[in-house]
Amino acid sequence: MSTVVDERQPAPSEYKTDEHPIWCPGCGDFGVLASLYNVLSALRVQSKDLVVVSGIGCSGRTSGFIKSYGFHSVHGRVLPVALGVKLANPSLQVIGVGGDGDGFAIGGGHIPHAARRNPDFAYLIMDNATYGLTKGQYSPTSQVGFQAGSTPYGNIEQPLNPLAMLIAYGATFVGQGYSGKPRELTELIKRAIEHKGFAFVNIISPCITFYNTYKVIPPRLAEVPTDHDVTSQAKAFELALQTDRIALGVFYQVSRPTFEDGVAEVIKKAQAAGPPRLDEIFAEFS
C-alpha cells in the first residue's frame, strides 16, 4: 500500500457518505461495505488519497457509499479505469469493486490482462451468482440447475471458477471471503489492500431476493488449512478446485514487480535516451 496514512485513526463511520445504501434488507453487500469501512479505518487511509472504482450492478453502488473519490464506471470496465487511475497517480490507494456478472461476463476479458500486469490495487468481487439488479437472471457463477426468469427450466451452463482463473492468470494475491463472516472478511480485505500487486478477493455475498443461499452456504464453509503453502501455485489450484467445500482465506500470494514500477523504469530509460533526431529518422527511410 503506497498511500500516505493519517496519524490519527479515523472511526469506520467517518468513511460513510450522506448516501444511504438502498440494497435489499439482508443483502450480503452490507457486510462487505461494513468490512471496507473497518479496513480503511484500521489502515488509516485518508479519503483524499482513496479512489473507489465500481462497475454496474448492485455492488456498483458501493463507490457512492464510501467517502473518497469515486468512479461509477460503465459495465465491465472496472479494471481498465482503475489501472488508468493508478498509472496517472501511483500514490493513490485504488480499490476496484464489482459483481460476478460485471466482472466475469462483459468484463471478463480485462481480468487476465490486469492479473498479468500486476498493478498495485485490490479488486473485490461480490459474488452472489445472479444478476440481482436486473431481476435475478443467471450469471457466470450460477450453479447448474439454477432456476430464474432467464432459466425457468434450470441453468445448463457450467459455472466459472473465479479463484482458479485468477491463479492461472497470474494474480499475485488470490483470496476468498464470505459476507456473513465480517471479522474474517475484514482481515482478508486488509491483507489484500496491504499486498503490493494485483490482489483479487472473491466474496460470496448472497442475494436475499433472487438467490438466497444463506442456508446452503454456511454448512460448506471451511477455513484455508493453516499448513497451506500460499506461495505454491499448484497447491492453490488444488484448493480452488475443491468445490465440495468453500474455503475462506488466502489461496495464493507471491511477490512480483508491479506494473507502475515497470512503467516508471521505462520512462526513466526514455528520458535518459533523449528524443530521437529527425535526421536519424529520415536516414532510416532514405
Instruction: Say which range, 117-126, 132-141, 154-163, 197-206, has the weakest mean pLDDT.
Output: 132-141
Beta bridge partners of 125: 98, 202
Query: Which pLDDT score is estimated for 4?
Result: 52
For the chain, what is the total number of helices (H) and then of strands (E)?
A: 9, 10
Q: What is the largest CA-CA distance in the chain?
A: 75
Average pLDDT rounded to a whole number, residues 12-16: 96
Residues 151-158, mean pLDDT to the nearest whole number: 95
Q: Domain segments of the chain: what residues?
A: 12-258
Residues 231-257 have a mean pLDDT of 96
pLDDT score of 257 more than 60: yes
**Residues 245 and 222 sit within 8 Å (Cβ to Cβ):** yes
pLDDT in tens, 50-101: 999 999 999 999 999 999 999 999 989 999 999 999 999 999 999 999 999 9
Residue 96's pLDDT is 98
For residues 53 and 72, give the distance between their C-alpha atoms in angstroms, rounded to a whole number: 6
Length of the chain: 286
Distance, in Å, from the CA atom of 43 to the CA atom of 53, rounded to the nearest integer, reads 19
Nearest Cα residue to 172 out of 103, 133, 131, 121: 121
pLDDT at 6 over 60: no
CATH class of 12-258: alpha beta
